Chains A and B, each alone.
Chain A
Amino acid sequence: NAGVTQTPKFRVLKTGQSMTLLCAQDMNHEYMYWYRQDPGMGLRLIHYSVGEGTTAKGEVPDGYNVSRLKKQNFLLGLESAAPSQTSVYFCASSYPSGLDLGETQYFGPGTRLLVL
């Protein structure tokens, strides 16, 4: 049981390049999330998904796209990378237990992205 895995672990991009970050979970979780973490900012939600084939915007979605073609995978794409997207990206997943009950989120190890 690997939990939540992310690839790659580290990447350097030039401005304007594109890339896709892959998140995979083997816990049969319905919900998946992409966050970015910047110094002094905590975690900010980029996009999330409440099930296969569905995605929704979070707090900071601009410049990113996502897809959830398979339940276990959640992809984050950067079409044209900018230096402002230099950050650490975390994927998380959770299993819904019902509204108002709260669900624990399980996090991946993170992807460090540097955009030059």
Chain B
Amino acid sequence: SQQGEEDPQALSIQEGENATMNCSYKTSINNLQWYRQNSGRGLVHLILIRSNEREKHSGRLRVTLDTSKKSSSLLITASRAADTASYFCATESGGYQKVTFGTGTKLQVIP
């Protein structure tokens, strides 16, 4: 069963706009990660936020985590055409690397 569920499933924006994707999960977690997948490629790690953190930044990425609502959001500011990809959240709970991936948000940035 999927732990993380991303919302929306698909998002289309103009270049320069901000893109926000949300992830909801069901059980308590140790940390939550966001990955990007370009078409036909493997996943690439973007950012990790631990359960005791509320917000984290990395370049144009901003991730928030609300453990009381069991949700996280990924904000990409000033989007570029190269940001076009699918974005997955992955939650880690329990020991021994129990990581569960969501179903992903497909982002299209139109030049």
Residues of A that sit less than 8 Å from B by CB:
4, 31, 33, 35, 40-45, 48, 50, 56, 59, 90, 92, 94, 96, 99-110
Q: Report the number of A-B residue pairs with Cβ-Cβ less than 8 Å.
A: 64
Give Cα distance in the complex from A105 to B99, angstroms. 10
Q: Provided the pairs A40-B103, A42-B2 are in contact, do residues A94 and B42 lie with their beta carbons within 8 angstroms? A: no
Given B2, B97, B104, which contacts A50 in the complex, CB threshold below 8 Å?
B97
Interface residue tally for chain B (C-beta within 8 Å): 25
- The residue of chain A having its C-beta at the shortest distance from the C-beta of B104 within the complex is A42
Contacts of B45 in A (CB 8 A): 104-106
- The answer to whether B97 touches A42, judged by C-beta atoms less than 8 angstroms apart, is no
**Interface set of B (CB-CB < 8 Å, partner A):** 2, 4, 30-31, 33, 40-45, 48, 50, 88, 90, 92, 95-97, 99-104
Cβ–Cβ contact A42 & B30, under 8 A: no
Q: Which residue of A lies closest to B1 (CB)?
A: A59
B104 proximity list for chain A (CB < 8 A): 42
Q: How far is the CB of B38 from chain A (nearest CB, A)?
A: 10
Specify which chain A residues have a CB less than 8 angstroms from the CB of B43 in the assembled complex: 43, 90, 92, 105, 107
Contacting pair B2 A103 (CB below 8 A): no
Query: Known: A99-B95, A102-B50. Contact between A42 and B44, CB under 8 A?
Result: no
Of the candidates A40, A43, A90, A100, the one whose C-beta lies within 8 Å of that of B30 is: A100
Residue of B nearest to A30 (CB): B97
A114 to chain B, nearest CB (A): 15
Chain B residues with Cβ below 8 Å from A110 are 40-42
CA distance A108 to B97 in the complex (A): 18
Q: Is B97 in contact with A31, judged by CB distance below 8 angstroms?
A: yes
